Amino acid sequence: MSYSVNNHKLRVGASNAEFVRSPNIGGILVPQFLVIHYTASGPGSDIAKYFSSPAANVSAHLVVRRDGTIKQCVPFNVVGWHAGKSSWRDRRGVLHVGLNQSSIGIEIENWGPLHKAGAGWVSWTKVPVDSGSVIEATHKYGSPSGGWEAYGERQIDSVIGAARAICDAYGIEEIVGHDDIAPGRKSDPGPAWNMKSFIARVQGRDSGDPDFWVVNSPTGLNLRDGASASAALKLPAPLPNGTRVQMLEASGNWRYVSVLDALNVPTASGWVHGAYLRDI
C-alpha cells in the first residue's frame, strides 16, 4: 500500500484516509516532531468518533485501528490536542514545551498496560485480553511493569507507511513517544512498541544497528559507577552534550553505556540517567 500527503491530508493508495473531523484543535501547525501514542481502548471503541465530540477535549491527527485502517481527525497543518503537558529537548539542544504546538500525533488502538487476573490478563476496564497477544515487560522508565497488549503487524505496517509519508512531507527528523515527552505522566506507546526498530524503518535504516544514543543535556551528564545518583563518578567531568554512547544494559531509569570516541571506539563505561539520552 502506498501512502502520501496531499493538502495536509493522508492518502492511502488512490484515496484519502477517512476523515472524521475533530473540533478539539488549535491554530496553525508547522510540525517538527511526530509523537506516537496508544489509545488505551479495546476493539469495540471508535476513538476517531470520540475525538469528534467537543466534550472529549482531546484529539490526534491520525487513529490507526487494529486491522490497520487509518482515520484522520485533524489536518497535518492544524494543532491537535494530543500531547498535553509535555517537553522535549531536540537534537540541537533546544527545549520545546507543550508539544501540541510543534508535533503531529498518531494514536494506535491498543489497551496498553494489562493486569494479571488468575492465569490470564485483563485491561484497565477488566476486559479479558488473549494471552497470545500479551508481552510481559517493564516500561523503559521503570513503571509500570507487567503485561502489555502487542501491536499487530498490519497495524505496525500502516503506522510505518503513514509516518514515512508525514516525515517526507514535512521534513520531520525526530519521532518520539508520548512517554518520552511526558515521562512519569504517560506510558504510551509502551514496551510492546519497538520504537527503535520503528524509527529505523521509517527513516530507511537497518533496525539491527547497535543501540547508539547521544547525551541530551546542555550541562553534561555524569557517568557513574552504579545505577544511582549517589554512586561514585567514573569520570571527573560530565560527558558533554552530544557525546555518543552505546547502551548495553538498563536498570529502571538508569542505563549502562560505553562512551564512544569519533571512531566509535569505547573509551569508558558506566551508568547514566536515561532521561538525558536521545536515540539516534
Write out the residue range of the structural domain in which residue 273 sits. 212-279
Domain end (from 202, 229, 247): 202
Is 258 part of a structural domain of the chain? yes
Sign of CA dihedral 181, 184, 190, 194: positive
Q: Are residues 171 and 117 in the same domain?
A: yes
Residues 195 and 220 in one domain: no
Q: What is the CATH number of the domain that holds 136?
A: 3.40.80.10
> Do residues 8 and 138 share a domain?
yes
Rounded to whole angstroms, the Cα distance separating 74 from 55 reads 16
Looking at residue 274, which CATH number applies to its domain? 2.30.30.40
H helices, E strands: number in the chain = 4, 23
Q: Note whether 197 and 220 are same-domain residues.
A: no
174 phi and psi angles, rounded to 5 deg:
-120, 125
Same domain, 28 and 158: yes
In the chain, the number of structural domains is 2
Q: Report the predicted TM-score, pTM, of the whole model to 2 decimal places.
A: 0.76
Looking at residue 170, its pLDDT comes to 97
Query: Are residue 196 and residue 62 in the same domain, yes or no?
Result: yes
Q: Would you call 107 a catalytic residue per the annotation?
A: yes
- The pLDDT value recorded for residue 209 is 54
Residue 126 CA to residue 42 CA, distance in Å, equals 11
Among the three residues 152, 182, 202, which one is the final residue of a domain in this structure?
Answer: 202
Q: Hey, CA dihedral for 62, 63, 65, 70, is it positive or negative? A: negative
Integer CA distances (angstroms), 32 to 58, 173, 212, in order: 20, 7, 22
Does a structural domain hold residue 207? Answer: no
Single out the catalytic residue among 18, 107, 149, 153.
107
Whether residue 194 sits in one domain with residue 83:
yes
The Cα–Cα gap between 50 and 57 comes to 10
Residue where one domain finishes, among candidates 148, 176, 202: 202
For residue 205, what pLDDT is reported?
58
Blockwise average pLDDT, block size 10, the chain, 280 residues: 95 96 97 98 96 98 97 98 95 92 98 93 95 86 86 93 96 94 93 87 66 87 91 94 87 83 83 83
